[in-house]
Amino acid sequence: MDKALYDRPLRPEPWVDRARRATYRALDPAAHPRGLSAANAVLAALIVAAVAAAVLETEPTVSRGRERIFGLLEVFFTTVFAFEFCLRFWAEAENPHLGGGWRARWRWLVSPAAIVDLLAIAPAMVMVGVAPSYLLRLFRLLRVLRLAKLGRFSRAWSLISEAIFSRRFELVLTAFVAWMVTLTSATLLYLVEGPVQPEKFGSIPRALWWAVVTLSTIGYGDVYPETLLGKILAAFTAMAGVGLIAAPTGILAAAFSDAAQRHRELEEEARRVAGDITD
């Protein structure tokens, strides 16, 4: 009963406060630990649509003769996102992590999330065609990252980042060895194939393009050795490529396995501690 008294103000709360709180809950993904609020679901769909429009606008066969439609779409998306930005600024006063009130608003305004949001509405605001404006519009894709703050994704993020971080030295070493192998095979192929195909293997930087395309097992087919010795060296490079892909995969697999086990153990301990308290 005491708790209820403390929570509920004695005077009825003004409707503005209630609206602001509801707005904050609707817009902040962390406020919905288990799911996605309706407002955020609509916003996510709008962001994807805005990015798709910016992507499609660059394709002449789509945009030619439809400049007006894309212009209107842009105005629409910018208006919605600008309105959302203002709402979020207003509602951020309810954010308990930033202190609340105007202080919370200003602190939010200088956060990376808010800057990304501001950049996302900037292009159409600036209206000056200096830089390719679709580039700025693609920044909107970054806004989808906001969804990653959702409770269900935060564990996944921490698992992945923990796994990669715990093996950063192994991964850096593997990348280093990979570059040594790339440079070595490029140098060898330059020596062997250079005189025969000067356009494609006439220098180490040119042979590096072949080495990267081969070791990543992409193999476009624009460059490949033609001499016998070049093919033998390329065969060894190909085998090294399999190993260079297998090693980081194996390291990451082991790291993910460890991180998942650690998470499970922490959860079990948390549950046991909670059980001890309950008992």
**Contacts with its own copies in 51-90 (CB under 8 A)?**
51, 55-56, 58-60, 62
* CA-to-CA separations, 266 to 22, 205, 260, in angstroms, rounded: 34, 49, 10
Q: Which of 27, 47, 208, 233: binder of its own copies (CB under 8 A)?
A: 208
CB atoms inside a 10 Å sphere around CB 202? 15
**Contacts to its own copies from residues 116-145, by CB under 8 A:** 132, 134-135, 138, 141, 144
d(CA 168, CA 164): 6
d(CA 108, CA 116): 12
d(CA 193, CA 189): 5
Expressed in angstroms, the distance from the first to the final Cα of the chain is: 24
Shortest Cβ 95–its own copies spacing (Å): 25
**Contacts to its own copies from residues 1-60, by CB under 8 A:** 51, 55-56, 58-60
**E strands within the chain?**
none
Residue with token string 């000056």: 128
Residue with token string 């079990």: 268
- Closest to its own copies by CB, 72 vs 242, is 242
Q: Which of 8, 152, 271, 272: binder of its own copies (CB under 8 A)?
A: 152
Binding piece for its own copies, criterion CB under 8 A, among 31-39, 65-73, 78-86, 209-217: 209-217
* CA-to-CA separations, 101 to 94, 95, 98, in angstroms, rounded: 7, 8, 9
Q: Which of 2, 7, 222, 279: binder of its own copies (CB under 8 A)?
A: 222
Tell me the helix, strand and coil percentages in the chain, rounded to 5: 80, 0, 20
d(CA 160, CA 183): 30
Does position 157 interact with its own copies (CB under 8 A)? The reply is yes
d(CA 265, CA 276): 16
Shortest Cβ 151–its own copies spacing (Å): 10
Shortest Cβ 26–its own copies spacing (Å): 23
- Closest to its own copies by CB, 30 vs 242, is 242
Q: Which of 44, 82, 113, 213: binder of its own copies (CB under 8 A)?
A: 213
**Contacts to its own copies from residues 169-198, by CB under 8 A:** 169-170, 172-176, 180, 183, 187, 190-191
Shortest Cβ 128–its own copies spacing (Å): 19
Binding piece for its own copies, criterion CB under 8 A, among 10-18, 22-30, 104-112, 148-156: 148-156
Helices (H) and strands (E) in the chain, counts: 14, 0
**Contacts to its own copies from residues 233-262, by CB under 8 A:** 234-235, 238-239, 241-261
Number of residues that bind its own copies (CB under 8 A): 79
**Contacts to its own copies from residues 259-278, by CB under 8 A:** 259-261
Does position 219 interact with its own copies (CB under 8 A)? The reply is yes
d(CA 32, CA 123): 31
